[in-house]
Amino acid sequence: AQSVTQLDSHVSVSEGTPVLLRCNYSSSYSPSLFWYVQHPNKGLQLLLKYTSAATLVKGINGFEAEFKKSETSFHLTKPSAHMSDAAEYFCVVSEASGTYKYIFGTGTRLKVLA
C-alpha cells in the first residue's frame, strides 16, 4: 500500500528565508508524487508534480521539489519565502492501480513571519 508522511505539521520561517517542507513516501512501485497548496478558504492548487521524468521538479511561485528514491523523499523547497506563501501544503501520492486516486499527507501549515 502507498502512503505519504509529512514530517512537520507546522513550519515557521521569516520572510526572505528558505522554506523546506518535508515529505516521505512509501510505494511498491515508481510513484507519481504531487505537492498541492491550500490557502485559507480556498481550493487545492497544484504546485508541482513528479512523474518519473526529471528528479528535480520546478513548480509555480518559485517552488521546487527533488525526488530521491534512495531516501524515499520528495521535499518541497523555496529559496526565499514570501508572505503570500503562508498556507497549508499537502504532499500527495497517486495510486497507480488504474484509479489514480490520491493519498494525501496530513499537511504542513506554513507560517511566514514579517
- Return residues touching another protein (CB under 8 A): 32, 34, 36, 42-46, 49, 51, 90, 94, 96, 99-107
Kindly state the DSSP code that residue 6 receives in the 8-state scheme.
E
Judge whether 49 and 93 are in contact, CB under 8 Å.
no
Question: At which residue does the C-alpha cell 489514480 appear?
Answer: 100
Among candidate residues 88, 86, 92, the one with its CA nearest the CA of residue 109 = 88
- The distance of closest approach from Cβ of residue 45 to another protein in the complex, given in angstroms and rounded to an integer, is 8
Q: How many other CB atoms sit within 10 Å of the CB of residue 12?
A: 12
